[in-house]
Amino acid sequence: MPAPSPAPDDEPAKPSPPPWREFARSPLVPFALAASAGLLADRYIGVPLGAALVAAAVALVGWFFTRRATPQTALGWLLVCAAALAAAHHHAHRHTFAPDDVSALAKAAPEVVRVRGTLAEEPDRFRPPRFDPLLTMQREATSTTVLDISEVDGATGWRPASGRVRLSVEGRLDDLHCGDAVQVVGRLSLPEGPANPGERDYRGLLLDKRITADLRVKRSADPVVRIEEGWRASLFGWLAVLRGWGTRALAQSLPKDEAGLATALLLGDSTALDREEWDAYVRTGVIHVLAISGQHLVILGAFAWAVLRLCGFRNRYSAWAVALLLLGYALLTGARPSAMRAAVMVCAICGGIVLRRRVILANVLAFAWLVVIALNPADPFTAGCQLSFLCVFVLLFGAVRWLKPRDLTPIEQLIDETRGPTEKAARAALRWAWNLFAVGFILTAVNVPLVLAWQNVASPVAVLIGPPLVVLTGIALIAGFVLLVMSPLGVWAAWPFARVTEACLAGCEWIVHLADRVPGGHVYAPGPPMWCLVGFYVLVAGLVLLDGRRSRQLFVALVVFSTFAAALGLTPHTSDEMRVTFLAVGHGGCVVIEAPDGRVLLYDTGTTAGPDAVRRVVAPYLWSRGVTRIDEVFLSHADLDHFNGVPELLRRFHIAQVTMTPTFPDKNSPGVEAVLAALDRHNVPRGFATAGQRFVAGDVALEVLHPPPGGLEGNENVRSLVLLVRHGAHTVLLTGDLEGEGQARVTARPVPPVDVMLAPHHGAKSANAPRGVAGAPEPGAMAAWARPKLVVSSQRAGTATEHLHRSYRGATVWDTPSAGAVTVRSHRTGLVADAFRSGERQVIER
């Protein structure tokens, strides 16, 4: 491309207007902003549907009477109408259901039901997870989908019903497709809300999809029966069958690992990769190269446009073809918000080509936002949607302008004309590579706060590996697409494209796994508070939209603000109280002790649900408290449900020391070996605790009551580590799975009455027997010995608790399935306990 000519009389070229002017003259931008305000109002404040509709009607009337006299006032009325309609749309989507909705039948406790309905989505068929020595029971392949309910079987026979449920099946639903009518026998329940601070709101996530109940099917004889084929009458049914054909074609042409990557890359099937593979892309900050997004559609659209133009098609026909291709591809890959955003924007640009009209990019972006809201008003509150619009906003209106090469001076033009073709090509390649890395750096820097808020990970290594991965996945996307097109002709026709796809994806795997091992390549950290997010992105918006001196001032302000927020987040958190939190992890245990001086200690971290509980419960809680370092982890004994979260914890936090019982390393168990290996790999020192030892964390003292130095014969439970936590005059007793001979030894020595106690062995009768029940070391021994005021039982849902109330008569008993996380706060003025899920509060007095 020739260098731009200088302006007449050697005057500098007139600078382009700042981007805010384009937004100011785009008619859809104010409506997009108004609709966003309406969504936020209903999401976080709550706007009654009737009030929103009345406001919209009043605004329309106001517009009608002012549209000629005062156009600006009329526009204001229209914006109020847009905001009210958006609030009403969001409220109706999440809160308005028919009287016979299936949620009216569901209860908190699962109940067996027989229902009929239609599969609203193609089932996600998850592969069996890899063998995990930290699981008490290895998981099998599972399938999940959404079922539109039509009938429910009851005492009077089948009766009509409505609503959507999330259907989870142990096993693969290989012969069922979107649109098929089925009969299902399973356990119906209401979705659970978060049980711990920081935990994701599963019920809210389902509600965003208008799903109001859970239906779980365990492996049994014909639990899901197709009663009528229906996928042929459904667009998404045909798309699902087409996607299945594409998956099989890729599996036949590519090795297993690359076939899974290709299926995720080309068809948007996230189940094609197991959790560990998927997490490697998340940790390295390049998940966008796999998850179907605008990047994929732009690459595919550019390739299709180039092919059509080379074939001699006119611009208008090429525009129609590209628009239809990308819209169909977005639907084929699941109609995710990021893909739909890109498809709508490309369609709008292609529409401008067809109509020969100039396209205003700000208007196109606003139009895409309004379309996404119209399709699902809850999508703007998802990470993928937010990151997609943020990236395209910064890229189109900021990065393109910042990286635009300056005009050459006449001297520089003369020098450039003296360069040979090879030198010019080399300089162009270097400039292209520089721009690619610069764009990657800009987008990574801009995305950091939002990614931290959603995923609690920052990935500096993404700046280095992002550009080569974009190139490799771009080539793999085009080659894989051609592979699918050529597959019907035979293996010979697809072979060369399969080899290109395989080589590119193998290169991606190698780069990602190498980057995943780079020290400091990714860092887990707490998400920024809302004020920090709002302030950061207001400054980013100003930096993108403004130009000249104001933009430089905003850049300095952004750097200062980010530095201040980061320094504030790294400041150690101190308090004048001790906090002890019993997390709700199911059948397992994790107790977090936060000392007033900022030190954090954990007592156990495990559950029968597996190490994933750390990802879902423990880490989010710690991050919600601003914790980045764990000073010590105490492991009560060598049963998996008390320690299998340690490796995942090591990935996310710096742990200064792990203390265990002397016999912990001696247990011949793959899980113990895996944890010890993880400690060695992370260079975490080990300590051992026996009766009589005392640990101190500022004003908090932990006295070891058990096990004795010589150990005890029997299973691991009798050797459980028992800690008495003291803060001032307040005490908390942590008992692990203590029972049998170990419990008899502990109760033989006197102890002052404790304030709060962890019920031994998850509240089991064998360790918490009421008086008169045979089989206990001494009937009611623990209750009579400790005399607690509050007893917390960490157990799975559905476990009986009546015996606990009888045994610990006079004490309050909270079980974690009902109460959720229990937080005890010790201050010199008293002791207060709060239950997260039930909202109960108790002031513990003596």
pLDDT in tens, 302-314: 999 999 989 988 8
If we measure between CA atoms, which residue out of 137, 129, 413 comes closest to residue 279? Answer: 129
Tell how far CA 830 is from the center of its chain. Answer: 38
Segment 275-285 shows an average pLDDT of 88
Segment 433-450 shows an average pLDDT of 92
Split at pLDDT 50, 70, 90, the class of 774 is very low
**Please, what's the b/e burial string for 304-327 (b: 16 or more CB within 10 A of its CB; e: otherwise)?**
bbeebeeeeeeeeebbbbbbebbb
| Contact indicator for 326, 297 with CB cutoff of 8 Å | yes
If we measure between CA atoms, which residue out of 234, 235, 186, 240 comes closest to residue 214? Answer: 186
| Angle, CA of 695, 699 and 703, to the nearest 5° | 30
Dist. CA 142–CA 766, nearest whole Å = 34
What is the tally of structural domains in the chain?
Answer: 5
| Contact indicator for 122, 180 with CB cutoff of 8 Å | no
Task: Report the pLDDT value the prediction gives residue 9, as an integer from 0 to 100.
Answer: 44
| Angle, CA of 275, 277 and 278, to the nearest 5° | 65
* pLDDT above 80 (res 756): yes
Split at pLDDT 50, 70, 90, the class of 221 is low
Choose the final residue of a domain: 233, 260, 289.
233
Q: Which residue has the tokens 């009210």?
A: 84
Split at pLDDT 50, 70, 90, the class of 492 is confident
pLDDT in tens, 452-468: 999 999 999 999 999 99
- Give the tokens for residue 180: 């098929």
Dist. CA 455–CA 462, nearest whole Å = 15
Dist. CA 447–CA 450, nearest whole Å = 5
Let me know whether 470 and 426 are in one domain.
yes
Let me know whether 714 and 637 are in one domain.
yes
Tell how far CA 320 is from the center of its chain. Answer: 36
DSSP labels for 33-98? HHHHHHHHHHHHT---HHHHHHHHHHHHHHHHHHTTT-HHHHHHHHHHHHHHHHHHHHHHHHH---
Task: Report the pLDDT value the prediction gives residue 716, as an integer from 0 to 100.
Answer: 87
If we measure between CA atoms, which residue out of 803, 819, 674, 834 comes closest to residue 195? Answer: 819
| Contact indicator for 787, 762 with CB cutoff of 8 Å | no
Task: Report the pLDDT value the prediction gives residue 779, as an integer from 0 to 100.
Answer: 46
Choose the final residue of a domain: 43, 69, 95.
95
Segment 504-526 shows an average pLDDT of 93
Task: Report the pLDDT value the prediction gives residue 712, as an integer from 0 to 100.
Answer: 80
Let me know whether 607 and 756 are in one domain.
yes
Instruction: Let me know if residue 3 belongs to a domain.
Output: no
Dist. CA 190–CA 104, nearest whole Å = 9
Dist. CA 270–CA 476, nearest whole Å = 17
Instruction: Let me know if residue 1 belongs to a domain.
Output: no
Cis check: omega of the bond before 707, within 30 degrees of 0:
yes
Tell me the β-bridge partners of 592: 581, 602
* pLDDT above 80 (res 773): no
196 DSSP assignment = S
Side-chain half-sphere CA neighbours of 680 within 13 A:
7
Q: Which domain holds residue 534?
A: 530-570
Split at pLDDT 50, 70, 90, the class of 421 is confident
* pLDDT above 60 (res 750): yes
Let me know whether 150 and 249 are in one domain.
no
Segment 79-107 shows an average pLDDT of 94
Dist. CA 26–CA 396, nearest whole Å = 15
Let me know whether 608 and 560 are in one domain.
no
- Give the tokens for residue 203: 């019920």
Q: Is 824 helix (H, G, I), strand (E, B) or coil?
A: strand
Task: Report the pLDDT value the prediction gives residue 18, as an integer from 0 to 100.
Answer: 84
Instruction: Let me know if residue 722 belongs to a domain.
Output: yes
Segment (H or E) for 216: strand 211-217
Task: Report the pLDDT value the prediction gives residue 220, as an integer from 0 to 100.
Answer: 63
786 DSSP assignment = H
Dist. CA 609–CA 323, nearest whole Å = 46
Instruction: Let me know if residue 9 belongs to a domain.
Output: no
What pTM value is reported for the model?
0.91
CATH of the domain at 670: 3.60.15.10
If we measure between CA atoms, which residue out of 752, 284, 301 comes closest to residue 522? Answer: 284
Split at pLDDT 50, 70, 90, the class of 293 is confident
**Of the segments 134-138, 382-386, 577-581, which one has the largest average pLDDT value?**
577-581
Better pLDDT: 3 or 318: 318
Strands 124-126 and 111-119 turn out to be unpaired
Percent of the chain exceeding pLDDT 90 equals 63
Strands 457-458 and 224-228 turn out to be unpaired
Segment 789-793 shows an average pLDDT of 95
Distances (CA, A) of 540 to 360, 388, 557, 714: 21, 15, 10, 62
Segment 104-108 shows an average pLDDT of 91
pLDDT in tens, 183-200: 999 999 999 999 999 999
Task: Report the pLDDT value the prediction gives residue 379, as an integer from 0 to 100.
Answer: 94
Distances (CA, A) of 755 to 347, 801, 812, 842: 66, 20, 11, 12
| Contact indicator for 458, 525 with CB cutoff of 8 Å | yes
Task: Report the pLDDT value the prediction gives residue 231, as an integer from 0 to 100.
Answer: 86
Question: Helices 235-253 and 491-516 meet at what angle, rounded to 10?
Answer: 80
Least confident of 2-16, 332-346, 467-481, 789-803: 2-16
Dist. CA 125–CA 807, nearest whole Å = 46
Let me know whether 553 and 511 are in one domain.
no
Task: Report the pLDDT value the prediction gives residue 677, as an integer from 0 to 100.
Answer: 95
Task: Report the pLDDT value the prediction gives residue 3, as an integer from 0 to 100.
Answer: 42
| Contact indicator for 754, 724 with CB cutoff of 8 Å | yes
Let me know whether 447 and 325 are in one domain.
yes
Average pLDDT, the chain: 89
Let me know whether 560 and 636 are in one domain.
no
Segment (H or E) for 339: helix 337-355
Tell me the β-bridge partners of 725: 702, 732
Let me know whether 60 and 116 are in one domain.
no
CATH of the domain at 122: 2.40.50.140
pLDDT in tens, 224-273: 899 999 888 888 888 888 888 998 899 889 998 888 888 888 888 877 78
Instruction: Let me know if residue 707 belongs to a domain.
Output: yes
If we measure between CA atoms, which residue out of 239, 407, 463 comes closest to residue 332? Answer: 239
Task: Report the pLDDT value the prediction gives residue 601, as an integer from 0 to 100.
Answer: 97
Split at pLDDT 50, 70, 90, the class of 590 is very high
pLDDT in tens, 238-250: 888 888 899 889 9
Let me know whether 311 and 437 are in one domain.
yes
Instruction: Let me know if residue 175 belongs to a domain.
Output: yes
Let me know whether 339 and 359 are in one domain.
yes
* pLDDT above 80 (res 771): no
Q: Which residue has the tokens 């074939």?
A: 311
Segment 501-520 shows an average pLDDT of 93
Let me know whether 376 and 476 are in one domain.
yes
DSSP labels for 250-267? HHHHS-HHHHHHHHHHHH
Better pLDDT: 535 or 15: 535
Task: Report the pLDDT value the prediction gives residue 244, as an integer from 0 to 100.
Answer: 87
Task: Report the pLDDT value the prediction gives residue 1, as an integer from 0 to 100.
Answer: 37
Choose the final residue of a domain: 171, 199, 233.
233
pLDDT in tens, 693-718: 999 998 999 999 999 987 788 788 99
pLDDT in tens, 4-45: 444 444 455 556 788 899 999 999 999 999 999 999 999 999
Instruction: Let me know if residue 429 belongs to a domain.
Output: yes
